[in-house]
Amino acid sequence: MALALIVFSPANAAADCNQSIAKLYKAKSPAVVRITALTINPYRKEDRVQLETGSGFIFDGIGLVMTNSHTVFGAQILSITLDDGTTLPVKLLGADPIYDLAILQIPAPKKGGLPVLKFADSDLVQPGDEVIAIGNPMGLGQTITSGIVSAINRILPDRPRMLAQPMIQTDTPINPGNSGGPILNRCGDVIGIASEILGNAQNIGFAIPSNLASSVIGSLIEKGRLIRPWLGIDGSMIDEELGKVFAFPLPNGFLVEAVEPNSPANLAGITGGHLPVKIGLRTLILGGDIIVAINDIEIKEVKDLQRGLDLLQIGKKIQFKIFRQGKIIISELMITERPLQPGDLPEASQIFTAPEGKGKIMVQ
């Protein structure tokens, strides 16, 4: 498939950015679609079949649609309904559960063209910018809401696998069914993709920045997934506050709670925990190694961990300084490619497990 040329929308004409929200909705909503996903869970006797809806948007005239990965995860049957009510079959080209992005394709019309949305530069977004969301919340059909950018570079505690990818926070009302829909600036260009909300709050929603979304399109289309370096460990950060809870000395660092078989960490002899302990709302598995440094980077805060993870390259070695039973051990790992996981390939016959890891840092 020929890859679409993704072009960021530069400064639009002033008139394009000052039109009313009503006119903006009329002009941009035809590119927003409703996604219907039929899933089957063979491990349940009841409620085996679920029908869910989400949103997406057309970003290329050949029929390419962007949405959230969790919107299409495990779908036995997928369909897309256009703004005019036309329902089309859809092919899942690629999905990434960690970034929560997916690319779909619908048939391009034989005559005329498809309406498309352009990506804006999300690095230019600032708190206070006016934004609108178009989607299909709660199965009610296409809806528009408006608000502002509440914050940028927001790291979410319940999306730890997106550790390096700050989100855009907005007070624009986002509800179930909006997932995968566009968050537009007042020029009508996409600055983010609606991803999730805080359920116990009012109008605190989060969007995947458009720069991140546009950067993965090529890989998702060509390979059906994103190729990542792999460690094969799962764990939690140990900071000074948590360290004070324990009567025994516990250094700051990344506590290894689980190690995947045949992973680089497993082959290097890194061990996970064996003793589950609940501290407040957190559950930890103690007894495993604590990674206190990656190469020369000491792991004292989450940002230090991310700096260390940024060093990972497939085919390269990396050095871990590990605290184990009161001793410091140096371990060297050969980084390999993350193997295929359920949900990486767009095969309709696969049954996927929804992303988890709440309160955890999934280092994959």
**What per-residue confidence (pLDDT) applies to 320?**
94
Q: Which residues of 84-118 are buried (b: 16+ CB within 10 A; e: fewer)?
A: eeeebebebbbbbbbbbbbbbbbeeeeeeebbbbb
**What per-residue confidence (pLDDT) applies to 247?**
58
- Does the annotation mark 100 as catalytic? yes
**What per-residue confidence (pLDDT) applies to 243?**
65
H or E stretch covering 191: strand 190-197
- Does the annotation mark 274 as catalytic? no
Fold entry, domain 122-213: Thrombin, subunit H (2.40.10)
Catalytic, out of 9, 150, 179, 195: 179
pLDDT in tens, the chain (364 residues): 444 445 455 544 444 688 899 999 999 999 999 999 888 877 777 888 888 889 999 999 999 999 999 888 778 889 999 988 899 989 999 998 888 999 999 998 877 789 999 999 999 999 999 999 999 887 778 899 999 999 998 877 654 443 457 889 999 888 888 899 999 999 999 999 998 887 676 778 899 999 999 999 999 999 898 888 888 888 888 876 676 666 566 788 999 999 989 999 999 999 999 888 887 777 888 889 999 999 989 998 888 888 888 888 889 999 999 999 889 999 999 998 877 654 444 433 222 223 333 333 333 3
What is the C-alpha separation between 360 and 260, in angstroms, rounded?
A: 15
- Does the annotation mark 179 as catalytic? yes
Domains 16-114+218-223 and 122-213 share a fold: yes
**What per-residue confidence (pLDDT) applies to 202?**
77
Superfamily of 229-337 according to CATH: PDZ domain (2.30.42.10)
Domain segments of the chain: what residues?
16-114+218-223, 122-213, 229-337
CATH class assigned to 16-114+218-223: mainly beta
Catalytic, out of 70, 171, 189, 236: 70
Catalytic, out of 60, 96, 100, 234: 100
